[in-house]
Amino acid sequence: MTQTPITTPPPPEDATERLENAIELKEVEGLSQGQIVFRRFVRHKGAMTAAAVLLLVILLATTSIGIGPIDGWWQFDHIRTHPTAIPGGRPTLQVGLDGITIGAHPFGQDDIGRDLFARVMFGTQRSLLVMVLIGVLATTIGITFGALSGFFRGRVDTFLMRLTDMVITIPIIVVGAVLGKAFGGGNAVLLGLALGLVTWTTMSRLVRGDFLSLREREFVDAARVAGASNGRIMFKHMLPNAIGVIIVNTTLLMASAIILETSLSYLGFGVSAPDISLGQLINDYQSAFATRPWLFWWPGLFIIIIALCVNFIGDGLRDAFDPRQRKIPSKRKMRQG
Amino acid sequence: MTTETTAPATEPILAVDNLGVDFWVDGEWYPAAVDVSYEVRPGEVLAIVGESGSGKTQSSMSLIGLLPANGRATGSAKLAGRELIGLSHSRLRHVRGNDVAVIFQEPMTALNPVYTVGFQIIETLRTHREIGPKQARERAIELLTMVEIPNPELSVDKYPHQLSGGQRQRAMIAQALALDPKLLIADEPTTALDVTVQAEILKLMRDLRHRIDSGIVLITHDMGVVADLADRILVMKDGRIVERGTADDIFNRPQHAYTQQLLSAVPHLGSQSFSQDTVVGTARVTERARPAAHGSAEGGADVFVAKDLVIEYPKRGRIPAFRAVDGIDLTIGQGEVVGLVGESGSGKTTVGRAAVGLLPVVGGSLTIGGHEMRGIGSKELRQVRDHVSIVFQDPGSSLNPRLPIGESIGEPLFLHKIAKGAELDRRVESLLDQVHLARGMRNRYPHELSGGQRQRVGIARALALSPKLLVADEPTSALDVSVQARVLELFQELQREYGFACLFISHDLAVVEILSERIAVMHKGKLVEQGPREQILRSPEQDYTRRLLSAVPVPNPAEQRKRREMRDRLLEEAAARTGMRKTVVSVDEIEAAGGGIQTRSDTNP
């Protein structure tokens, strides 16, 4: 090692060198890649609103009736029956000139007097749980399969991709129904895990594509020459560069997961009584649509809110990760400057 | 320079007055170009020279309204008396293509890959003129003939990927000329091309300026490119014009310090003194110690020994295996710098990648530091990589965008378990010092650095393990000329200090001349010629080497003219020998006649 550290300061011409792409760099000065993405995400108004609404829904669903053994602040639960507050069990929630009155049963009661608010909150919890389970499991499997086949190519790739093809060819609703019936038995956790096992295909395809192009990049060669092992190249060098695709696809996957869960439960193959989910509530009350339509609307509203929010967040993330997406300043603002 | 004398008589086509370009970033206007004024007359070539970020491209693009959405142009630019700044989009669209045409830097990306070349020219014609498809096609063929594309009747139906890089650029020029524009903007038209192809395109442009009556604005960072082509030159720095004048004035009597710096930054052949008593000579003690003859069997002392080396890209599906390197013999001794020169697709990069074990050796033998690379196991390869490293061509893609540069530099040290924690930090800092980067930069990300700084990081990473052999794969070809000069200087300094052997790969003979003691010339996978620097540069034996030498532009109009004439003579001789028509002047054609087909894309080395 003949290293003799020179401690001369950088030559003065370095200053001119820095100016080379100075204007483009103004926007990203001193920020890491992650911080730049976060900045762009925060600027996306739709996504920020969606994130706020989703957070609100989660807070409402968890604090009101509590989680598991922990009690919430809401007085009723989703099982017990109560005498009807308003004839017909109509919602007591009223928005009038004299402000908002919540009443005893804001979302109304069903035909045997159960509190619909508590039931919707419980259903929301269940649906969100299934959504997260599907998201986590499908993402993990998808990344692993996609990364392996994209990195190693050849036989590994052929095997994993044919496996993917096989899963893709079977309609997901059929697989979901069979798995849900076989393992779920009405249990939300098992249903989520079962569905996660069949929804990873898109993710693995996308990650594979990204890895195929990333492995041709020179920094991967550089890491290899530096002596990095395959595992290190995959996880330290390539995976962080594919994170954009992964995060965006995860959110889209979750949005479709909640729809899948509700449709399965609606068909009677997913979560079934006594367990509750939003889809199962709609299924339960479909006969009452003519007489007590609110039993239908409230769970429906929550399904829409959740699916929309997750989709919007995914949209915002996609824009944030796309380097070509630049905020174009408005004409008016530019004129002021 | 006949136009110079007639110029004052004619009205300017383009009169730019007090033009400014600003960009709106984070609530503030940042100027990219300030107070730019110039005139262009018919048949005149005005060169705008400056580094990246000097505003030369943006100020020209603002003329035809092609600024990014957050940009604005102020001042005035009159095209044949008509104001361009502030013109509405629909009016500007009429101006573009019709009155003003642009030749872009990268013909592969500027041409649409899913349409034929002919279709794209016809499209330009038919959007602006009332012309039938048949006539348009005839005109397209006529244009392709004008830009000297071989077999224009056939080429008109070819897709961009079926043409070589030089031909693509010719097609771009044909498209730009389609409507006889009054003004032609050539934005770095040769930067993405090989030196030899660059010479071809420059020759074409020189011929064209006499045939068409357009004014040409040539934007470039390379003083060598403009030497023989420009009538007048503007030098821009940081958005301002620092010097203007005729080509003769700028090259022979540069006033501004920056112009002088730009001129001196262009490496030109013959700039190195070959005598041993110069600074360069004394710095290379090893040079005298080594015999000049190549292929001498010295056993363990040589760090790189290739004998009849064959490297192939394996076949993929129906595409057969491609032999990129076909039986070369090359030896690099300890501490010796060998330049490997050739055009894109000649296989020079392949040799470099095989030396660090990124490509398998198919035939012959390649010994790196005593390890045979043919059929090497992963364990032994790890040992080899203790002593070899590589600097890649494009510093933008060879650094992981998600890692701070300090981590990138320290990775080899960390992976070879040489240093950890605080010791690793110390080593990274000393490496940063050595490549003249501030220590504080270690936490920055690659996108925050300029091209030159990134390449310094790449060099620091390659030096981390104090390698015995460093493969430098065109380390400066993606950089501006002035930045290149600084990186080369740094490279020399480090080589002196570390004493590593180096395989320096480049397409630019002038760059190789500065660094190498010996030069090897590759052409189509074969070693055409090798020998000591003096011999290759002063008295090359092979035609190909001579052609390569004559293609290097020199920042001096008079000398460049001499070189160009010499080159034309060489080509004619070669054409005569291969039994072709006298009119054939392109290297492409001679090579096609010689039986070789370009299998790899020119722009993808």
Convert the pLDDT of each residue in B245-260 to its tens digit: 998 888 888 889 988 8
Coil, strand or helix: which one is A214?
helix
Which residue type does B461 have? R
Of A2, A10, A221, the CB nearest to B437: A10
Residue with the bigger pLDDT between B499 and B600: it is B499
How much is the mean pLDDT over chain B?
81
Interface contact B397-A33, CB threshold 8 A:
no
CA B238 to chain centre: 23
Please report the pLDDT score of residue A14 as a whole number: 41
Mean pLDDT of B394-408: 86
pTM: 0.77
Confidence of residue A291 (pLDDT cuts 50, 70, 90): confident
Please report the pLDDT score of residue A272 as a whole number: 73
B357 touches chain A (CB under 8 A): yes
Please report the pLDDT score of residue A238 as a whole number: 92
Interface contact A30-B397, CB threshold 8 A:
no
Nearest alpha carbon to residue B150 among B591, B599, B595, B584:
B584
How much is the mean pLDDT over chain A?
80
Confidence of residue A200 (pLDDT cuts 50, 70, 90): very high
Residue with the bigger pLDDT between B583 and B567: it is B567
Sign of CA dihedral A29, A35, A40, A45: negative
Interface contact B53-A21, CB threshold 8 A:
yes
Kindly tell me if the per-residue pLDDT of B289 is higher than 50.
no
Find chain A residues with C-beta within 8 A of B411's C-beta: 223, 226, 228
What count of other Cβ atoms lies within 10 Å of the Cβ of residue A111?
15
For strands B183-187 and B100-103, give the pairing.
Answer: parallel
Sign of CA dihedral B272, B278, B283, B289: positive
Please report the pLDDT score of residue A23 as a whole number: 60
Kindly tell me if the per-residue pLDDT of B141 is higher than 60.
yes
pLDDT digits (tens, 9 = 90+) for B429-477: 999 988 888 888 888 888 778 888 888 899 999 999 889 999 998 888 7
What count of other Cβ atoms lies within 10 Å of the Cβ of residue A21?
15
Please report the pLDDT score of residue B502 as a whole number: 93
Kindly tell me if the per-residue pLDDT of B189 is higher than 60.
yes
Lowest-pLDDT choice from A210-224, B247-261, B372-386, B551-565: B551-565
Do B467 and B459 contact (CB within 8 A), yes or no? Answer: no
Residue with the bigger pLDDT between B559 and B458: it is B458
Do B354 and B361 contact (CB within 8 A), yes or no? Answer: yes
Sole residue written with tokens 């580094």: B51
Among chain B residues, CA nearest to A11:
B436
Lowest-pLDDT choice from A107-116, B236-245, B416-425, B453-462: A107-116
Mean pLDDT of B334-362: 88
DSSP state of A115: B
For strands B232-237 and B371-372, give the pairing.
Answer: unpaired
Please report the pLDDT score of residue B583 as a whole number: 44
Mean pLDDT of B565-576: 79
Interface contact B24-A23, CB threshold 8 A:
no
Find chain A residues with C-beta within 8 A of B357's C-beta: 225
Residues 60-89 of B with CB under 8 A from A: 68-70, 72
Interface contact B452-A20, CB threshold 8 A:
yes
Kindly tell me if the per-residue pLDDT of B145 is higher than 70.
yes
Kindly tell me if the per-residue pLDDT of B112 is higher than 70.
yes
What tokens does B147 get? Answer: 């830009």
Among chain B residues, CA nearest to A330:
B70
Of B26, B412, B451, the CB nearest to A27: B26
Half-sphere exposure of A140 (CA within 13 A, CB side): 8
Kindly tell me if the per-residue pLDDT of B551 is higher than 90.
no
Find chain B residues with C-beta within 8 A of A17's C-beta: 450, 452-453, 483, 486
Cα angle at B162 between B157 and B168, to 5 degrees? 85
What per-residue string of b and e applies to A283-298 under the rule 16 or more CB within 10 Å gives b?
bbbeeeeeebebbbbb
pLDDT digits (tens, 9 = 90+) for B486-524: 889 898 999 999 889 999 998 888 888 888 889 999 988
ipTM over 0.90: no
d(CA A37, CA A248): 12
Of B358, B398, B453, the CB nearest to A17: B453
Kindly tell me if the per-residue pLDDT of B148 is higher than 50.
yes
Residue with the bigger pLDDT between B345 and B289: it is B345
Of B238, B382, B401, the CB nearest to A33: B401
Lowest-pLDDT choice from A279-293, B239-253, B279-293, B409-423: B279-293
% of chain A surpassing 90 pLDDT: 22
Please report the pLDDT score of residue B578 as a whole number: 65
Please report the pLDDT score of residue A324 as a whole number: 55
Please report the pLDDT score of residue B471 as a whole number: 93
Interface contact B448-A30, CB threshold 8 A:
yes
Of B382, B392, B453, the CB nearest to A218: B392
Residue with the bigger pLDDT between B570 and A202: it is A202
Nearest alpha carbon to residue B518 among B385, B341, B389, B346:
B341
CA distance B348 to chain A (A): 17
Please report the pLDDT score of residue B476 as a whole number: 84
Do B454 and B396 contact (CB within 8 A), yes or no? Answer: yes
Please report the pLDDT score of residue B92 as a whole number: 87
Which residue type does B327 have? G
Q: Is the N-terminal amide bond of B320 cis, ω within 30° of 0?
A: no
Find chain B residues with C-beta within 8 A of A232's C-beta: 415
Among chain B residues, CA nearest to A2:
B498
Interface contact A226-B399, CB threshold 8 A:
no
pLDDT digits (tens, 9 = 90+) for A4-30: 444 444 443 444 444 445 565 565 565
Nearest alpha carbon to residue B200 among B150, B248, B139, B161:
B150
Please report the pLDDT score of residue B287 as a whole number: 40
Please report the pLDDT score of residue B390 as a whole number: 92
d(CA B358, CA B397): 16
Do B119 and B92 contact (CB within 8 A), yes or no? Answer: no
pLDDT digits (tens, 9 = 90+) for A57-78: 999 988 888 777 777 788 777 7
Half-sphere exposure of B505 (CA within 13 A, CB side): 24
Question: Please, what is the angle between helix B117-128 and helix B133-146, to 10°?
Answer: 120
Please report the pLDDT score of residue B276 as a whole number: 38
Mean pLDDT of A198-225: 91
Most confident of the ranges A138-147, B64-73, B536-545: A138-147
Please report the pLDDT score of residue A185 as a whole number: 61
Mean pLDDT of B125-134: 89
Residue with the bigger pLDDT between B583 and A141: it is A141
What count of other Cβ atoms lies within 10 Å of the Cβ of residue B363?
15
Find chain B residues with C-beta within 8 A of A242's C-beta: none
Of A8, A25, A218, the CB nearest to B397: A218
Kindly tell me if the per-residue pLDDT of B370 is higher than 50.
yes
CA distance A103 to chain B (A): 49
Please report the pLDDT score of residue A57 as a whole number: 93
Phi then psi dihedrals of residue B440, to 5 deg: -65, -15
- Using CB atoms within 10 A of its CB, is residue A216 exposed (0-12), middle (13-18) or buried (19+)? exposed
B14 touches chain A (CB under 8 A): no
Which residue intervals of A89-171 are DSSP H helices?
A: 116-152, 154-169
